[in-house]
Amino acid sequence: MANMLISWYSKQQSTVALSTAEAEYIAGATAVHDCLWVKQLINELGLHNKDGAVILHIDNQSAIKSMENDVTTARMKHINIKFHCIRDAIRKEGIQIRYRPTTEMKTDILTKPLGGILDKRNIAMLKLTTLDTKQHQNV
């Protein structure tokens, strides 16, 4: 809503992935479950999203191709069928998948240890600021 992040979580995948594309595909399918739940909650609260779009940002183009195409490649054929719900969500539920380079993934600050320069850039992307504790002592 309002082009803002409203949900996120970080967890080690319980399924072993043989490639980063497969790991992103599985993570995307998991995220879609949460997106659909949040979308339903928003509708039930009467806070309808004007354009109705739910956008999932992924930083792996191979995973995106697998999500958007119904063709299962030899490298992805062993993925459990429960993860293919992402394809249905794209077609039927208005979920949009967008590529975002790893360097622009704002949520990395919440899931990965980052060096000083990356921390500063991510803090700037999240629009975080430090509080002057002297100024706010009486708060």
Spatial neighbors of 87 by CB under 8 A, at least 6 apart, are 67, 68, 70
Number of domains in the chain: 2
66 and 127 both lie in a single domain: no
The total number of residues shown for the chain amounts to 139
Structural domain range at position 132? 102-139
Cα angle 131-136-138, degrees, rounded to a multiple of 5: 160
Q: Which parts of the chain are beta strand (E)?
A: 54-58, 95-99
- Same structural domain, 50 and 112: no
- Reference 87, options 101, 111, 67; nearest CA is 67
Taking only the tens of pLDDT, the chain with its 139 residues reads 566 666 766 777 888 888 888 888 888 888 888 888 888 888 888 887 666 678 888 888 988 988 888 777 777 777 777 777 888 888 888 788 899 987 777 666 666 666 666 667 766 776 666 666 666 565 5
User: Do 90 and 113 share a domain, yes or no?
Assistant: no
